[in-house]
């Protein structure tokens, strides 16, 4: 294949799949471009874009946690408790393992109508309304699975 820069006939393995310049000529061009003002500006833009993207992700995570913590405080105040625990076995190590069991299944609105969904997706006012109209108890994931498997019935 003929290189468009050095005009030498070279083997195919000496070319990148996307370029008509040989690897040597393309690398020389890139090194020269990086030394120019345009190359430095482009590198700076890439760096700024990466930094801003990281800040955006950090802000989203911070807002998510803040919203979840705020709704959790509302829930604890409403229930008059200091912690959320499994009402069958007393498990309280991780809130991630606590699930909300609807006493009346007709109140459940789809598969994603869960405590963690409420804590993260609803605004504080929507969350307050939701917990006031819904009859539920807290169960750890194991007790909740056992209940739905029919291993025990009394709540």
Q: Quickly state the pLDDT bin for 114 (edges 50, 70, 90).
A: low
Within-domain flag for 6: no
What mean pLDDT do residues 43-63 have? Answer: 80
How confident is the model at residue 142, as a pLDDT?
Answer: 92
Within-domain flag for 155: yes
Q: Closest Cα to residue 112, out of 133, 124, 87, 130? A: 130
Within-domain flag for 11: no
The CA angle 132-133-138, to the nearest 5 degrees, is 70
Say yes or no to pLDDT of 113 above 70: no
Helix (H) or strand (E) holding 137: strand 136-140
Count of the separate structural domains present in the chain: 1
- Summarised one tens digit per residue, pLDDT across range 78-89 is 778 778 888 899
User: Which backbone phi and psi does 112 adopt, to 5 degrees?
Assistant: -95, 15
| Range of the structural domain that residue 97 is part of | 17-155
Q: Quickly state the pLDDT bin for 110 (edges 50, 70, 90).
A: low
Model confidence, pTM? 0.49
Within-domain flag for 2: no
Average pLDDT, the chain: 81
Within-domain flag for 72: yes
Whole-angstrom distance, CA of residue 76 vs CA of residue 83: 7
Q: Closest Cα to residue 20, out of 8, 31, 32? A: 8
Within-domain flag for 125: yes
Within-domain flag for 102: yes
Within-domain flag for 113: yes
The CA angle 84-90-94, to the nearest 5 degrees, is 50
Whole-angstrom distance, CA of residue 16 vs CA of residue 49: 27
């Amino acid at each position: 294949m003929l290189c468009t820069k050095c005009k030498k006939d070279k083997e195919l393995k000496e070319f990148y799949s996307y370029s008509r310049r040989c690897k040597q000529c393309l690398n020389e061009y890139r090194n020269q471009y990086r030394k120019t003002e345009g190359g430095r500006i482009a590198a700076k833009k890439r760096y700024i874009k990466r930094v801003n993207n990281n800040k955006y992700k950090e802000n989203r995570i911070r807002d998510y946690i803040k919203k979840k913590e705020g709704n959790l405080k509302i829930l604890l105040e409403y229930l008059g408790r200091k912690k959320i625990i499994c009402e069958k076995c007393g498990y309280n190590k991780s809130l991630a393992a606590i699930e909300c069991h609807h006493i009346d299944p007709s109140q459940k609105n789809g598969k994603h109508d869960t405590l963690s969904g409420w804590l993260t997706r609803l605004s504080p006012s929507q969350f307050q309304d939701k917990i006031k109209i819904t009859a539920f108890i807290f169960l750890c994931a194991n007790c909740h699975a056992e209940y739905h498997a029919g291993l025990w019935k009394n709540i």
